[in-house]
Amino acid sequence: MEHIKCLIIGSGPAGYTAAIYASRANLNPVLYEGIQPGGQLTITDMIENFPGHPEELSGQDLMDLMREQVDKFGTEIREHICVKSDLSSRPYKFTFDDGSEVTADAVIIATGASAKFLGLDDEKKYMGAGVSACATCDGFFYRKKVVAVVGGGDTACGEACYLAGLASKVYLIVRKPFLRASKILQQRVNDNPKIEVLYETNTEGLYGEDGVEGAHLVFRKGENDERHYDLPIDGFFLAIGHKPNSDVFRPWIETDEIGYIITKDNTPCTNVPGVFAAGDVADPTYRQAIVAAGSGCKAAMEAERYLAENSL
């Protein structure tokens, strides 16, 4: 069975940054890119808030540049997905979707978190062309435009308030007759003249030629007063939550009730010695590329320290 000194599972800003630092520390890292090489940033249309890139560029372009830098420093990059882990004792054992198995002394988990979608075909059709799962990432491109946010919890209300500072109008599409968000966020939504809450409303689809131009909505679906109508909008933001990609590690790694990996004392250290978590898989709060990249740096530095202290 192949043995790896420093194994990185997952790509994106966290995984790629960890690989850059681990390579430069002569840890001979091997990185498995996983189900979505480059992570969720690859479905982000344009980025203009990543330091060092004054001209806007696509998420895919940014990830391609990071991957090129990873390759430059000698990290071996593989395509497969981790399907099983055994962290009961060191060296830790992992199985991938091609049937291969490896062991590792230090492990950096950077598998990210996937945005939850409504399941509409139009979400994929217009992704990056009016559909977004990150208001902080893409809201700037909708200045003085009309947008809609789907969801009724803290995330949705927070993103609606954020977008109200940029857009001319924000519709909050809520399938229930009430908001689930905290009282303070509900108050902020209700007090904001730019936000209009559409209660008991479901999205059936989106329309537009070269991008989103509107949403097909239904009010009180299945009831006697059911009503279908079209709502003209320029952007459609999903805010119904994220699912951290941690299931394969959860028998061994401590997580919260949602599945975000719990780390110790503002470090990337998990409850398993030598196993570190970086990026969105351990971040329910910020979910930004620059934050993920910083945590990848920290994870690689902790891995280097761990290997040295244990003479591995």
Distance CA 41, CA 53 (A): 15
Catalytic residue (one of 82, 134, 161, 269) = 134
What percent of the chain is helix, strand and coil (3-state, nearest 5)? 30, 30, 40
82 is catalytic: no
8 Å CB contact between 252 and 84? no
- Written as one string, the DSSP assignment of 125-165 is HTBTTTEES-HHHHGGGGTTSEEEEE-SSHHHHHHHHHHHT
Catalytic residue (one of 6, 105, 122, 137) = 137
No. of helices (H) and no. of strands (E), the chain: 7, 17
61 is catalytic: no
CB within 8 Å of 16: residues ≥ 6 apart: 31, 63, 66, 67, 69, 70, 293, 296
Catalytic residue (one of 45, 105, 122, 138) = 138
Contacts within 8 Å (CB) and 24+ apart, 216-219? 217/173
Closest CA to 181 of 210, 204, 151, 201: 151
Distance CA 281, CA 47 (A): 21
Q: Is the peptide bond between 251 and the residue preceding it cis, with omega within 30 degrees of 0?
A: no
Give the start-end residues of each E strand in 10-123. Answer: 30-32, 76-78, 82-86, 92-96, 101-109, 113-115
H-helix or E-strand containing 198?
Answer: strand 195-198
Strand-pairing partners, residue 9, are 32, 109
297 is catalytic: no
**What amino acid positions are annotated as catalytic residues?**
134, 137-138
